[in-house]
């Protein structure tokens, strides 16, 4: 795996700043529709970098990452029907080999939109021998969503991926999934998470029941109870039952203190008032996530579509955007800030050969704007490479769609899998272009 950079040779840099137009590769879409009802291709929305969140789904084999990704797309209305891994019709596990194996083999870049945010998702494979797919994804995401399986607790595969997560120092959200499973055990899984990942593990929600009957979640930030119908989806908000108030209030207090401890002004406020409001808590929790002193825990049943909306809401409001992340340290000792007005820098994190679409390289715009036709220098090879075509993969790479001619900061994942076609980028390579 090579890491490298391609930089713009000043004289050849074309002016940046085009608008976004999309034309769908109809033939590909057509094929796609056979097995899924897909909303007609919307006009591509443009999100500014503040409204883009890049997450990577991580966790042991079978903990539910692909199912959660499917639910996040469905909950946002980007797909009309949820696929199931067993039925070989999920959006993420679209490769033949993934159908054969019944689990993810490749990292897949997807996106969803929640309220006025775009959430880019990389779904990674959990099998240990496929960690080569997970590391580049970790490299370009801004927040890690680590899924734990509530009936297995912290697994060997979880510890393995946690080790890699340590290297990248990214903020972490913990999703406690499969709470509908008959053997689900929330308390013991949280206990194990604290043992393995430390006191930064912070309970944001707890389930009122587990197993078959799982359908109510107490939220300690909003101090409300979410009640799901059997079919899952949008929950009803109800007041916390009197029988739960004592427990909820004491856990809420712990959460407030966790938020306050990350910011002096918040701490002072807390000492004065003895409480923090939701926005103040979010501010403290965000700082705690950036400092990795707070790993918020959310309750989920991806299979029964319970809890993904709240998780996406938290990612929107609290998880950091690429612009808020610390500057990247470069191999040459320099640093690189994610700035819209910065020099055009992109980082390729995956190259693949897709049926129908051919050679595709996925990249993240680390700074500035990248435009079709631009010539950038590959920092690994020193070679000048031309950005031939920027496309958007809509779920399945083979239905690549011609993207805008310009890519902007963190836009890599804004429209997942913005690709450049360049025969030079070796499959599986990652490189930095400037």
Binding ligand GTP by CB under 6 A: which of 7, 177, 210, 412? 177
Distance of alpha carbon 415 from alpha carbon 38, whole angstroms: 17
**In the range 39-68, which residues lie near Mg ion by CB under 5 A?**
65-66
205 near Mg ion, rule: CB under 5 A: no
71 near Mg ion, rule: CB under 5 A: no
Exposed e or buried b per residue across 48-74, where buried means at least 16 C-beta atoms within 10 angstroms of its C-beta? ebebbbbbbbbbbbbbbbbbbbbbbbb
302 near ligand GTP, rule: CB under 6 A: yes
- Confirm if 342 and 370 have CB atoms less than 8 A apart: no
Span of 48-56, 165-173, 244-252, 298-306 interacting with ligand GTP by CB under 6 A: 298-306
14 near ligand GTP, rule: CB under 6 A: no
**In the range 303-322, which residues lie near ligand GTP by CB under 6 A?**
303
133 near ligand GTP, rule: CB under 6 A: no
104 near Mg ion, rule: CB under 5 A: yes
Min dist CB 60 to ligand GTP, Å, is: 7
**In the range 47-76, which residues lie near ligand GTP by CB under 6 A?**
59, 61-67
Site string for Mg ion, 137-176 (x = CB under 5 A): ----------------------------------------
Min dist CB 69 to Mg ion, Å, is: 8
Cα dihedral sign for 394, 398, 399, 403? positive
Min dist CB 363 to ligand GTP, Å, is: 24
- Residue 182 or 334 having the CB closest to ligand GTP: 182
Binding ligand GTP by CB under 6 A: which of 16, 120, 178, 378? 178
Could you tell which of ligand GTP, Mg ion, none binds residue 208, using a CB distance below 5 to 8 A set by kind?
Answer: none
CA gyration radius, the chain: 21
- Residue 98 or 142 having the CB closest to Mg ion: 98
Binding ligand GTP by CB under 6 A: which of 55, 73, 85, 218? 85
303 Cβ contact partners less than 8 Å away, ≥ 6 residues apart: 64, 67, 84, 178, 180
Residues forming the site for Mg ion (CB under 5 A): 65-66, 104
Residues forming the site for ligand GTP (CB under 6 A): 59, 61-67, 84-86, 103-104, 125-127, 177-178, 180-181, 301-303
């Amino acid at each position: 795996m090579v890491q490298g950079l391609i930089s713009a040779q000043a004289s050849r840099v074309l002016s940046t700043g085009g608008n976004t137009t999309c034309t769908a590769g109809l033939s590909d879409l057509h094929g796609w529709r056979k097995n899924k009802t897909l909303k007609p291709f919307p006009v591509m929305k443009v999100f500014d970098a503040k409204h883009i969140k890049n997450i990577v789904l991580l966790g042991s084999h079978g903990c539910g990452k692909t199912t959660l990704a499917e639910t996040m797309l469905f909950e946002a209305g980007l797909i009309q029907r949820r696929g199931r891994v067993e039925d070989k019709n999920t959006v993420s596990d679209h490769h033949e080999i993934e159908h054969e194996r019944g689990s993810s083999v490749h990292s897949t870049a997807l996106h969803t939109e929640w309220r006025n945010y775009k959430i880019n998702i990389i779904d990674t494979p959990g099998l240990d021998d496929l960690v080569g797919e997970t590391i580049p994804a970790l490299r370009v995401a801004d927040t890690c969503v680590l899924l734990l399986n509530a009936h297995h607790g912290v697994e060997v595969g979880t510890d393995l991926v946690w080790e890699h997560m340590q290297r990248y120092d990214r903020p972490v959200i913990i999703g406690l999934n499969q709470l509908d499973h008959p053997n689900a055990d929330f308390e013991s899984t949280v206990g194990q998470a604290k043992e393995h990942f430390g006191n930064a593990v912070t309970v944001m929600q707890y389930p009122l029941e587990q197993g078959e009957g799982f359908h109510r979640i107490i939220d300690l930030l909003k101090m409300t109870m979410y009640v799901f119908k059997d079919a899952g989806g949008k929950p009803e908000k109800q007041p916390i039952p009197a029988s739960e108030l004592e427990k909820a209030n004491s856990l809420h207090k712990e959460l407030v203190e966790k938020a306050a401890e990350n910011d002096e002004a918040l701490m002072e406020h807390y000492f004065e008032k003895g409480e923090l409001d939701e926005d103040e808590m979010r501010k403290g929790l965000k700082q705690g996530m950036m400092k990795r002193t707070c790993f918020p825990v959310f309750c989920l049943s991806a299979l029964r579509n319970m809890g993904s909306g709240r998780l996406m809401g938290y990612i929107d409001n609290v998880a950091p955007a690429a612009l808020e992340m610390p500057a990247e340290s470069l191999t040459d000792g320099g640093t690189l800030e994610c700035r819209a007005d910065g020099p055009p820098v992109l980082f390729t994190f995956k190259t693949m050969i897709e049926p129908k679409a051919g050679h595709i390289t996925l990249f993240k715009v680390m700074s500035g704007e990248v435009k079709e036709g631009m010539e950038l220098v590959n920092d690994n090879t020193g070679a000048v490479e031309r950005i031939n075509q920027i496309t958007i993969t809509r779920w399945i790479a083979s239905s690549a769609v011609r993207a805008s001619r310009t890519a902007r900061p963190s836009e890599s994942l804004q429209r997942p899998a913005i690709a450049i076609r360049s025969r030079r980028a070796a499959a599986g390579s990652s490189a930095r272009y400037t």
